[in-house]
Amino acid sequence: TGYVTYDPGFMNTASTKSAITYIDGEAGILRYRGYPIEQLAGKSTFIEVSYLLIYGELPTKAQLEDFTDRIRRHTLLHEDLKRFFDGFPRNAHPMPVLSSAVNALSAYYQDSLDPRDPEQVELSTIRLLAKLPTIAAYAYKKSVGQPFLYPDNSLSLVENFLRMTFGFPAEPYEVDPEIAAALDMLLILHADHEQNCSTSTVRLVGSSDANLFTSVSGGINALWGPLHGGANQAVLEMLDDIKASGGDVKEFVRKVKNKEDGVKLMGFGHRVYRNYDPRATLVKKVADSILSKIGGDDQLLDIAKALEEAALTDEYFIERRLYPNVDFYTGVIYRAMGFPTRMFTVLFAMGRLPGWIAHWREMHREPLKIGRPRQIYTGYGERDYIEIAGR
Ligand code: CMC
């Protein structure tokens, strides 16, 4: 069958060409469509960055208004789909609820499933961007046993999400502009990261010509794992544990170094960055400013900072070139905003959505080639079947 390269975990194999996101892991550089992440985080908005990633250019004012309007018209969930949430146990983690509801979009919106019809692809794109925040808010409401709110389309995407998450029906909800701005910025930082595990999953599912909703649902599942998007939840649980056991970061670092019980420093390390993750630099700054404005657990932030310092000055981490990644400081901020720990990865999914869509669409602009890796077989050679009585 010819020559096969063995590359577990795709350490050196490029699965695709892509014009969306550029990362230089040695230099700590991240750009979307050529624009440095620092500039986008400082000047742009999540909706504008979504447009940039999906369509390739920053929108004109008219394009942005049209895009925003189209999204606004699709924020409602089908009433039957709303009842879908009732079927989950109240203590369910919101990630499987999210991915299931996103997958169910393929059942409710059958007029936008054809990957080769540009109008249907456009419609499913807008529907996903519009409905994911609604689904995410309902996953939260379900977990706390509170009533669902209909979207208020006079609000921006992020404001609407905050209101649907933390508001109550028939009660006015005042969106805190500091929180909305910080969340918008965090969503920008998560919006794309080239061929990470979840994006590669979206591409692989999509490569069989499966529709956009179901491909993105696959990406959400890949994101849930603690080595990927689930790390933001794992970081906060780690910080909570350190705090509860007296705040001794040196002792924790010692355990990590000795690989005691397989414990890792969550929020540290990255396949591509061998230098400070540029997103982590930005998140750390927001953590400082937002916590001073809206309050929050300063002690947790102090533990995170002490932990970072202890790790960055330790041989183990220096040798392996392990630095904080995007997830290291996000949890402290999400908690200060009022989100329960279990919602953190849902927020990551909301941020990563435009990236998933952009990659799925980029893949479909090329002649479709099904993703089908090869393997090195290590099992038995041929052997004869043994009747059950003889085993
Ligand atoms: N704590 C302790 N040791 C670590 C860590 C860590 N967080 N990360 C890597 N190492 C060690 C690892 O044990 C290995 O050591 P040795 O050579 O002695 O076996 C060495 O560093 C190389 O690591 P690796 O696991 O081979 O690297 P990878 O590229 O396969 O894995 C990673 C990358 C992100 C999965 C890993 O660094 C990790 O598990 N980090 C913790 C989870 C985390 O924060 N994930 C979020 C990633 S960024 C956002 C996202 O994608 O969602």
Q: For residue 236, how many C-alpha atoms fall within 13 Å in the half-sphere facing its CB?
A: 21
ipTM: 0.97
Altogether, the residues listed in the chain come to a count of 391
- For residue 282, the SS3 value is helix
Statement: residue 2 has pLDDT above 80: no
**Chain position carrying tokens 């085993």:** 391
Rounded percentage of the chain residues whose pLDDT exceeds 90:
92
288: confidence class by pLDDT, cuts 50, 70, 90? confident
Ligand 1 binding site (Cβ under 6 Å of any ligand atom) = 9, 196, 227-229, 231, 256, 264-271, 320, 322, 325-327
The residues with which 324 forms a beta bridge, in sequence order, are: 268
The DSSP code sequence of 284-302 is HHHHHHHHHHH---HHHHH
CATH 3.10.200.10 corresponds to the domain 231-337: no
Residue-wise pLDDT tens digits, 164-173? 999 999 889 9
**Chain position carrying tokens 């000047």:** 43
Catalytic residues: 270, 327
Domain layout of the chain by residue ranges:
16-228+346-365, 231-337
- Cα(331) to centroid(ligand 1), Å: 18
- Cα(271) to centroid(ligand 1), Å: 7
Q: Share the mean pLDDT of the chain.
A: 95
If you take atom 15 of ligand 1, which residue's CA is the nearest one?
320
Residue-wise pLDDT tens digits, 171-225? 899 999 999 999 999 999 999 999 999 999 999 999 999 999 999 999 999 999 9
Residue-wise pLDDT tens digits, 91-138? 999 999 999 999 999 999 999 999 999 999 999 999 999 999 999 999
CATH no. for 16-228+346-365? 1.10.580.10
1: confidence class by pLDDT, cuts 50, 70, 90? low
